Amino acid sequence: MKNYIKADEWNIIEEGFDPILNKISESLFSIGNGRMGQRANFEENYSGETLQGNYVAGVYYPDKTRVGWWKNGYPEYFAKVLNAANWIGLNIKIDDEVLDLSTCTVTDFTRVLNMKAGTLSRSFTAQLKSGKIIQVNALRFCSIAEDESAALHYKITAVNFDGNISITSFIDGDIKNQDANYDEKFWNQVKQEQEGDTDFLVLRTKKTEFDVCTAIQTTVLYDDEKQQLNEVSKEKYIGRTVVVALKQKTSVDIYKIAVNLSSQNYDKTELLTVARQKIEKAVEQGFAQLLEAQIRAWATKWEESDIVIEGDVKAQQAIRFNIFQLNQTYTGKDARLNIGPKGFTGEKYGGSTYWDTEAYCIPFYLSTAPEVVAENLLVYRYKHLEKAIENAGKLGFNNGAALYPMVTMNGEECHNEWEITFEEIHRNGAIAFAIFNYIRYTGKENYLAQYGLEVLIGIARFWRQRVNWSNDKQKYVILGVTGPNEYENNINNNWYTNKLAAWCLNYAIEAASIVKNQEPEKYKAILEKVQLNEMEEFADWKTIASQMYYPYDEEEKIFLQQDGFMDKEQILVKDLPSTERPLNQKWSWDRILRSCYIKQADVLQGMYFFEDDYNQETLKRNYHFYESRTVHESSLSPCVHSILAAKLSDEEKAYEFYLRTARLDLDDYNNDTEDGLHITSMAGTWMSIVEGFAGMRVRNGALKFNPFLPKAWKSFSFNVGFRGVQLKVQINATQIRILNYVDQTLQITIFNKSYAVPLGETVITYNGQLV
Amino acid sequence: MKNYIKADEWNIIEEGFDPILNKISESLFSIGNGRMGQRANFEENYSGETLQGNYVAGVYYPDKTRVGWWKNGYPEYFAKVLNAANWIGLNIKIDDEVLDLSTCTVTDFTRVLNMKAGTLSRSFTAQLKSGKIIQVNALRFCSIAEDESAALHYKITAVNFDGNISITSFIDGDIKNQDANYDEKFWNQVKQEQEGDTDFLVLRTKKTEFDVCTAIQTTVLYDDEKQQLNEVSKEKYIGRTVVVALKQKTSVDIYKIAVNLSSQNYDKTELLTVARQKIEKAVEQGFAQLLEAQIRAWATKWEESDIVIEGDVKAQQAIRFNIFQLNQTYTGKDARLNIGPKGFTGEKYGGSTYWDTEAYCIPFYLSTAPEVVAENLLVYRYKHLEKAIENAGKLGFNNGAALYPMVTMNGEECHNEWEITFEEIHRNGAIAFAIFNYIRYTGKENYLAQYGLEVLIGIARFWRQRVNWSNDKQKYVILGVTGPNEYENNINNNWYTNKLAAWCLNYAIEAASIVKNQEPEKYKAILEKVQLNEMEEFADWKTIASQMYYPYDEEEKIFLQQDGFMDKEQILVKDLPSTERPLNQKWSWDRILRSCYIKQADVLQGMYFFEDDYNQETLKRNYHFYESRTVHESSLSPCVHSILAAKLSDEEKAYEFYLRTARLDLDDYNNDTEDGLHITSMAGTWMSIVEGFAGMRVRNGALKFNPFLPKAWKSFSFNVGFRGVQLKVQINATQIRILNYVDQTLQITIFNKSYAVPLGETVITYNGQLV
């Protein structure tokens, strides 16, 4: 737990330089634009502790899977997110001294992430060993308007001396991953070129053969004059250098404009040509115009997605930080991309896609971005359907059964713990649920005919083969699974998985009937394509769904997380000494497994997904039973509990859970922010406010709210888009004010009462609960 | 499955050279003496497929454990059995041609493992590319009489030419392990020396710093004259060379005598001095005398342990092969050593000790070797008690609870699959059972006071903490275990584990009471040492043992392998298509786990250990239920089933299972003999005959037999030692002949009738069953 970030509504601010915090700040101050991103590494040399990180979306390396004991069906590789060429690099020498914050005296250090503008700035005064003092102001951004461009401005002022400042501006491709075994390097140089004022470096990843072309143009201005630069280069490194005779109290300005192009988007043979055009265009616009476009683009993002909290600056800062990071990570322009657990902020958890996307991120993007953004996340899975069928095939399933991977870059599984890879199959259900959720929100049932139904059929076929009939129970059972609570492995009849599986089977049939009615030709074509025997398979699916076994405890009247759960020693989390926690650091794995402690919502995840199936009493019993056994050792845990607590009107608990998720990274709650940020759980924070505090749902094609105001706040408001309408919903202790920006009247339900919300402001008075 | 080994009663014979079979033969023809051993690699150069293997008992390398996802409590390293310096090496050049069986035409190739004498011989004729033909006869052995010595004789005859034979005899320490990551080498050179006629090479293992000194003395005789040799050496390599002008139809004889000393047995500073003395002594004796001593020593081994089968040469060869390998692997001279799953025949399954030792090997050594041999295997675990307590501590147990490692070299755990390392805890029970078994056999209750009780207390304390009370079941349960059937992971209430745990708790109390009565002073000292609270702890143990939960199926009236077993799809093995097997190659791990198929005896292992607790009807029901679901994909499986089938008078099945275990390696049944032999399961083969066909047991301090003769055999007999008496028991269709070599009359029970067996021969007539 740290507490060094200054509270501010729109900015993340670090004051004073503490090398011990540097890697945490590198994560926190990361910038990105959905296409590329980078940690807040320094432009100039730094010999202290640092994790260098520049990332290009979709570029990975298939590292050979190494495990002690191989199991049949394990994937061939683990996808590593690759550290890519560093375009920000500057070597600064003052006479004979290299500027390196680790070797000089630093004062007035400030680092600011301006979330409104999407920029990272830094300023400091450095006294070198010689006594010379310089002042530096740096600002940079990855353009979200032109997402292959980035720019920086680095200004050096000589405070107390006249001297020669040597400046080298470069692209460094001779980088490696921190997680590389044996310091292996993953990039080969394809080409380097220096043409006009531009430096080009083309690198190729080993094995996967992605080409990435990085180009920079560096301008050095002194005394209003553009300085003449000399070319420098070596293997995987290219740049320009100049020495400027700096007079005391004057400044030299370095501008660096960069483009970063990947062969995922261009033919390899054209990469250089396109890079040339792009950098020329960017340079023509110049730093100032690029910056303006950046600010405009971020203004639009904020119009769609901002949440305003009055009366709590730290909460305000936290929620904006979460929203900002989500928008930096995924912009929804490209259905081949997805949301890595660390986004562009670190290497950890290599691979881009987990079930986090479907369970946590889709609701955020559905409400805060054009519909195509969430849709592209769904299409991503559609594009991987063939691979999911292959993956299921490797595990012995057939007839078009699809098992989506637990972790993937390109549709192939790249995780290899058997208890996760082979058994955490509920991910398949979350992917089906996301289709349902998307259609529920947008009303676009035609998504089924276009993409959704095929995916749902593959998933239903998987469940059909994955169940077996238990003679003992006279029900269908699902044996050998791992649920969302990964503190249980290889369990039988995980309630959540069984529930989700049955739901998938029914929903696939329902989806088929929608497509059959609405687009009979298309329906016929799909049936033919997937060779579905409508009569037999649907009948099968119905039987299984209706005769699914659900473990239940008669005494506690709760759904049982799995068979045998009540055999465990039932000591509640509150009675566990705090010295024993976090369990995943203090206890051996077997001890965790045989305990009753829960890592993240499991039965409760199911009750969150399918809340309409259960009354408040049932929810309450299950919530109290399971929450009291939950240690929340996953960043994805508190948000679901916050939403459920809100639903149970336990406002205090709902707010408590919100706090645990909101500043997870800003306060380095788990001592792991230095590895990168917890991007996917940030969507959960958003959900805690919108689905939790505001109680927003979509039912029968309309928005509904069951709001309450956390005691610590004066009001909160959020921007949300719904079926072509853009709303701002503000909630305070007595009123709900809805601003409709579009000339289209919406019917909205608040506490079960329906209201017409036309263009402009509608104010509804409420008092605690009732209107 | 292969079938190239010639049937012979005393020899393993390969005729004709097939490079494809070479690695299999290298395993099968391995020789060893308990202290060192080696694969049947060629002395001369060989550029074909080979797995080089020379091993020194107890020498290992702690390879860093690498797993994708680390779990708390995982051991730091995985112990690698190290390929050690090669002392047999000879480079042979005929004029300019290197002798290499991979590049010349080989005829009359014969390889013979003479099990009676303990020697490996090889002869062949090789025609070189030049047309020159030589004939080679080689013989070597690792002395079991002087277990730090070894010798070889290599004779080359020029068949059709006069020519210069260049001979280099060397020790090569520049070796590596096949399983080394990144071709890492594990030995550093400490010293090399050439003194008189002897070459010394001292190597040190990295990290563990074992020093091994290998010394050789090479004699080359031609025309009755000892040839003058020239010294050669390079890093980690030392030897002598000579060129002999060989006349057609004459021979040159190379004798190489070697010693191999480990710093486990000598001070490092004295290693060279001792090696000097040892090699001088060995050379003084000379090859012929060393060979004679070898034959004499093996004669003694065979007197103690031979089994003779009349009427089935292949069965005879197989059982002798198994006995021979067991005696080569472990001689019981050193309580720091144990029985590696591959002995001295390969690198696989690094680490020397599994529960195989207690469950399978101890019965063999108890009956076929002086009592000290089995006792040393027990003392091995006593010496590791402190480490077992530390190991339990890492997993959160305290108060002197001991959890022995799953795999170990020095008492530390070195296996890292959580489902095995942390959960396959029944191994602890097998270690306690071995103490019981040893005392039952030898009658030496004083072993408890000396060593056994402390171990039993540590184990009982572990179980006491490992159980938990189930409110649901109102019984003690053991959650999250893996039983002997490793095709189930992380299951609850494995019947075998629960049974064994309860037995351990009771036996520890019983053992305590024996020591208390027999050696009250010692008892007091032990209680003090382990700080045992007699009243409280014993009461606890009794309660738990008496209220242990045992899963049971009322319908089938069988003990359930674990909770929920009847939820599985119950398709019998006989109804599985053969294309699906072996499951561990054809099915993904999750599919195996959720199936009802059993890798090796689990419930039945318990019924084997505790057979007196169950009547024939109970055994029969359980045997039929479980055997029909067992795929026997562990080499340890068939033997237990053979013994149980024999007990159920299913002679045909008993014999069928015997066949599956007996020639497992000789016929390369599982296509893995090339990696090394299945040493520990060889003890199971012996058990199948002695405990199965002969029905030998020790009850109330006396031997009893319930024999039958397999239909395919005329008779079988086995040598067995029991409490100071040496017996030969011969069984044919109508008679049991017992030869007592000692002047001490034994009471022996045959089919529940007691007989006095004095010195000399006793013949008991029986007919199928009754006398």
Strand order in the sheet with B230-234: B97-98, B90-94, B163-172, B237-246, B230-234
Over range A266-292, report the average pLDDT: 97
Q: Could you give the C-alpha distances from B487 to B28, B357, B420, B559, B684, in angstroms and in order?
A: 29, 21, 11, 18, 21
pLDDT digits (tens, 9 = 90+) for A467-524: 999 999 999 999 999 999 999 999 999 999 999 999 999 999 999 999 999 999 999 9
User: CA of B17, closest CA in chain A: separation in Å?
Assistant: 34
Helices (H), A531-594: 534-546, 583-586, 589-594
The sign of the torsion formed by the CA atoms of B629, B632, B633, B636 equals: positive
Catalytic residue positions of A, numbered: 486
User: CA of B682, closest CA in chain A: separation in Å?
Assistant: 24
Over range B181-202, report the average pLDDT: 92
Please give the mean pLDDT across all residues of chain B.
95
Q: Which helix (H) or strand (E) holds B730?
A: strand B725-732
pLDDT digits (tens, 9 = 90+) for A260-276: 999 999 999 999 999 99
Q: Which helix (H) or strand (E) holds B765?
A: strand B760-765
CB neighbours of residue B505 within 10 Å: 28
pLDDT digits (tens, 9 = 90+) for A662-676: 999 999 988 899 999
pLDDT-derived band at B309 (thresholds 50, 70, 90) equals very high
Q: Contact A68/B69, CB-based, under 8 Å?
A: no
* CA B317 and chain centroid, separation: 18
Rounded to a whole number of angstroms, the CA Rg of chain B reads: 27
- Asked if pLDDT for residue B760 goes beyond 60, the answer is yes
Residues A206 and B380: their CA atoms lie apart, in Å, by 50
Q: What is the DSSP string of A390-428?
A: HHHHHTT--TT-----SSBSSSS-----HHHHTT-THHH
pLDDT digits (tens, 9 = 90+) for B669-708: 888 999 999 999 999 999 999 999 999 999 999 999 999 9
- What pLDDT is stored for residue A481 in this prediction? 98
**Residue length of chain A:** 771
Using CA coordinates, name the residue in chain A closest to B78: A68
Q: Are B621 and B557 in contact (CB under 8 A)?
A: yes
Amino acid at the residue B673: T
Over range B346-364, report the average pLDDT: 91
Residues of B in contact with A569 (CB under 8 A): 468-469
Residues A408 and A417: their CA atoms lie apart, in Å, by 14
- Asked if pLDDT for residue A86 goes beyond 90, the answer is yes
Instruction: Indicate the residue of A71, A479, A569 with minimum beta-carbon distance to B589.
Output: A71
**Residue length of chain B:** 771
pLDDT-derived band at A771 (thresholds 50, 70, 90) equals very low
Over range B748-754, report the average pLDDT: 93
Of chain B, the end-to-end C-alpha distance in Å amounts to 41
Pairing of strands A746-750, A702-705: parallel
Q: What is the pTM of this model?
A: 0.94
Over range A303-320, report the average pLDDT: 96
- Asked if pLDDT for residue A177 goes beyond 50, the answer is yes
Instruction: Indicate the residue of B473, B569, B586 with minimum beta-carbon distance to A567.
Output: B473
Farthest CA pair distance, chain A? 89
Q: Could you give the C-alpha distances from B526 to A19, B352, B457, B523, B530, in angstroms and in order?
A: 55, 29, 10, 5, 6
Instruction: Compute the count of residue pairs across chains A and B with CB atoms less than 8 Å apart.
Output: 136
- What pLDDT is stored for residue A63 in this prediction? 83
Rounded to a whole number of angstroms, the CA Rg of chain A reads: 27
- What pLDDT is stored for residue A770 in this prediction? 46
CB neighbours of residue B675 within 10 Å: 20
Q: Contact A593/B490, CB-based, under 8 Å?
A: yes
Q: Is A589 exposed, middle or buried (0-12, 13-18, 19+ CB in 10 A)?
A: buried
- What pLDDT is stored for residue A752 in this prediction? 87
The residue whose two tokens read 């007592």 is B740
- What pLDDT is stored for residue B768 in this prediction? 61
Nearest alpha carbon to residue A91 among A187, A167, A194, A9: A167
Residue B137 region by backbone torsions, left for phi larger than 0, else alpha for psi between -120 and 50, else beta: beta
Pairing of strands A211-222, A225-226: antiparallel
Residues B213 and B203: their CA atoms lie apart, in Å, by 6
Residues A282 and B744: their CA atoms lie apart, in Å, by 104
Instruction: Indicate the residue of B67, B472, B589 with minimum beta-carbon distance to A72.
Output: B589
Catalytic residue positions of B, numbered: 486
Residues 6+ apart with CB under 8 A from A131: A160
pLDDT-derived band at A46 (thresholds 50, 70, 90) equals very high
User: CA of A659, closest CA in chain B: separation in Å?
Assistant: 29
Q: Are B75 and B220 in contact (CB under 8 A)?
A: no
* CA B296 and chain centroid, separation: 23
- What pLDDT is stored for residue A178 in this prediction? 86
Residues A255 and A169: their CA atoms lie apart, in Å, by 10
- What pLDDT is stored for residue B771 in this prediction? 40
ipTM: 0.92
Q: What are the respective helix, strand and coil percentages of chain B, to the nearest 5?
A: 35, 25, 35
Residues of A in contact with B566 (CB under 8 A): 470-472
Q: Are B549 and B470 in contact (CB under 8 A)?
A: yes
Q: Contact B479/A585, CB-based, under 8 Å?
A: no
Please give the mean pLDDT across all residues of chain A.
95
Nearest alpha carbon to residue A55 among A688, A734, A676: A676
Instruction: Indicate the residue of A469, A567, A589 with minimum beta-carbon distance to B470.
Output: A567
Nearest alpha carbon to residue B188 among B212, B169, B153: B212
Q: Contact B65/A67, CB-based, under 8 Å?
A: no
Over range B232-260, report the average pLDDT: 98
Q: Which helix (H) or strand (E) holds A657?
A: helix A651-662
Optimal mutation site among A348, A463, A594, A625, interface B, most CBs of chain B within 10 A: A594
pLDDT digits (tens, 9 = 90+) for B369-392: 999 999 999 999 999 999 999 999
Nearest alpha carbon to residue B704 among B683, B729, B726: B729
- Asked if pLDDT for residue B143 goes beyond 90, the answer is yes
Name the CA dihedral angle for A279, A284, A290, A292, rounded to a multiple of 10 degrees.
-170
Residues of A in contact with B588 (CB under 8 A): 71-73, 394-396, 422
pLDDT digits (tens, 9 = 90+) for B160-178: 999 999 999 999 999 999 8
- Asked if pLDDT for residue A565 goes beyond 70, the answer is yes
Over range A216-240, report the average pLDDT: 97
Residue B700 region by backbone torsions, left for phi larger than 0, else alpha for psi between -120 and 50, else beta: left
Cis peptide before B582 (omega within 30 of 0): yes
- What pLDDT is stored for residue A70 in this prediction? 67
The residue whose two tokens read 């004709």 is B16
Q: Contact A395/B477, CB-based, under 8 Å?
A: no
Residues 6+ apart with CB under 8 A from A88: A38, A41, A43, A54, A140, A152, A256, A258
pLDDT digits (tens, 9 = 90+) for B8-39: 999 999 999 999 999 999 999 999 999 999 99
Q: Are A435 and A455 in contact (CB under 8 A)?
A: yes
Encoding tokens for residue B711?
Answer: 């239909």
pLDDT digits (tens, 9 = 90+) for B566-620: 999 999 999 999 999 999 999 999 999 999 999 999 999 999 999 999 999 999 9
- What pLDDT is stored for residue B766 in this prediction? 83
pLDDT-derived band at A180 (thresholds 50, 70, 90) equals confident
- Asked if pLDDT for residue B551 goes beyond 60, the answer is yes
The residue whose two tokens read 């501590």 is B393
- Asked if pLDDT for residue B770 goes beyond 50, the answer is no
Q: Is B553 exposed, middle or buried (0-12, 13-18, 19+ CB in 10 A)?
A: middle
pLDDT digits (tens, 9 = 90+) for A357-391: 999 999 999 999 999 999 999 999 999 999 999 99
- What pLDDT is stored for residue B74 in this prediction? 77
Write phi, then psi, for B656 (nearest 5 degrees): -60, -45
Residue A492 region by backbone torsions, left for phi larger than 0, else alpha for psi between -120 and 50, else beta: beta
Residues B485 and B630: their CA atoms lie apart, in Å, by 9
Q: Could you give the C-alpha distances from A225 to A252, B282, B526, in angstroms and in order?
A: 10, 90, 90
